[in-house]
Amino acid sequence: MTKPMGVLLAGGLARRMGGGDKPLRLLARRPILDHVIERFQSQCCSLVLNANGDPGRFKVYGLPVIADSVPDYAGPLAGVLAAMDYCAAHRPDITDIASVATDSPFIPRDLVECLQEARSRAGTPLACAQSGDQTQPPFGLWPVSLREALREALVVEGLRKIDVWTARYGIATSIWQQTPYDPFFNANRPDDLEEAERIYASLL
């Protein structure tokens, strides 16, 4: 299957972490974003980073940094739309966007392949991850062909919830177990960084 363009979603405010950029917090002495890129990069044809504010803080990664086109921190869907727009402008040959949250350092190395397979089996346009009985909507596969529909939902309707929008079109899920650890564990709070260190150590 053709590899999608990958988008690293880093557009949030990180209020529960005390502000700042969650993906730049350290895990095993490296930014969490390093770990995400390491696992995700080979699964995609290329990567873009969705982040608001000064793009210079991510300069070291050498990736295109794209801001939300929808104002007021409209959530992950705004980042997906920004990536769709970038893909349509710069890689019109690519039909899909794959998205991941950048505060989840243990994402599966076969995430995209499993999402593609789930979508193909279900015959739906969209797919997202699930760990145990918990869906993980930011970890998804999105056809660029839906970008104008997504723009209308965000701008005209003011819609923000991923599940509400994806339900309109049909979405497949690919399921991972939560043991021995949740591959979609995310570092939302300072205490979560300690847990991330424990998981990381168990993988060595």
According to the model, what pLDDT value does residue 189 have?
A: 82
Give the chain's domains with CATH numbers. 5-203 (3.90.550.10)
For the four alpha carbons of 82, 84, 87 and 88, in that order, the dihedral sign comes to: negative
Strand order in the sheet with 46-50: 65-66, 46-50, 5-9, 96-101, 134-143, 126-131, 171-176
Stronger pLDDT, 190 or 100, i.e. the higher one: 100
pLDDT at 16 over 60: no
- Local confidence band at 18 (pLDDT 50, 70, 90 cut-offs): very low
Comparing CA positions, the residue from 189, 14, 30, 179 lying closest to residue 105 is 30
According to the model, what pLDDT value does residue 204 have?
A: 86
What pLDDT, in 10s, does the model give residues 109-118?
Answer: 999 999 999 9
pTM of the full structure = 0.93
Stronger pLDDT, 44 or 1, i.e. the higher one: 44
pLDDT at 169 over 50: yes
What pLDDT, in 10s, does the model give residues 75-84?
Answer: 999 999 999 9
- Local confidence band at 71 (pLDDT 50, 70, 90 cut-offs): confident
